[in-house]
Structure 1
Amino acid sequence: MAYWLFKTEPDTFSIDTLRTQKRSCWEGVRNYQARNMLRDDVKVGDSVLVYHSSCKHVGVAGIAKVTKASYPDHYAFDIESDYYDAKSTVDNPRWFMVDIEFVRKTERVIPLAVLKAMPELANLPLVKRGNRLSVMPVSEPEWQAILSKEQLPSR
């Protein structure tokens, strides 16, 4: 089993949306490096940190599990979709997605500022300046360190 962080904008799709739907495809990834990870590396049973970005409370908001391995992102073929790509075809798909299911919300949104302050996350792409990757691997020690910050610090 591997660990991942998937970024989403909660106005588009949030951990609460996933909780309501229970399962969903993770579509719309339009970065080649992130696409390659979804296509080649993300496997059924892998655990996912759902990370909210571009919002008031940026940070890790919940946990999901991969339930379906990579398959072509059919939204790329739909001219009505925001994710349409004329160069992606059924015979030669350019974009891929996986399915995930809700596991749980984190006890709080674990803020990016908290993550950036953690020395054990120094190599995590999320905390590095200029990183815009929407899918990234997380090591098991990083996963444990992130989840150790669910509780608010005692005063």
Structure 2
Amino acid sequence: MILQLATPFVAHSAIARWLHPLDSLPLECDGMTHVIAVILNRTGISYTVFKRVLHDTSLPLTDSRACIVHFWIGLPDGAVVDYRARMWFGLDAPHGVFTPSVGSRYQYKAAVPQSNFTLPISLVSAIAGTDLSNFPIPPIEAMFHYDNANTMRSADAVH
């Protein structure tokens, strides 16, 4: 049997569906990023936590609503995992798992990778108000696309 690697779109969609139940948690961007980081750690999916500025380019920089200090997750293929931009910018803001476009209204600026961001799952579960140790494993499309060990990089690697 030959398993094909998932395309980025398929992998992003699978991760978005998998993480969607977390969207209802009463957390801001830092808390949500902690939750997603803990879950990604459990699965071995590589990621980077970023902190800096999310800018609504439709507003002048002098407008206090134009920029927010924000946390989000970046995936190895350049996709962004962000479930809290809409909290500040409304329904037009990006949401979920997506690849940001250069000419987008919303720009992730001067991203600074955050080290030592992961907290123990018990503490993050307490912050989230739910037991994250029971969160399901991700869909197989996501696992094949974001294989942390780099063992599934060719279409015929599975026997």
Q: What's the TM-score, normalizing by structure 1?
A: 0.26
Higher relative contact order (CA 8 A, sep 6+): 2
Q: Which has the higher strand share?
A: 1
Q: Which of these two proteins has the greater Rg computed from alpha carbons? A: 2
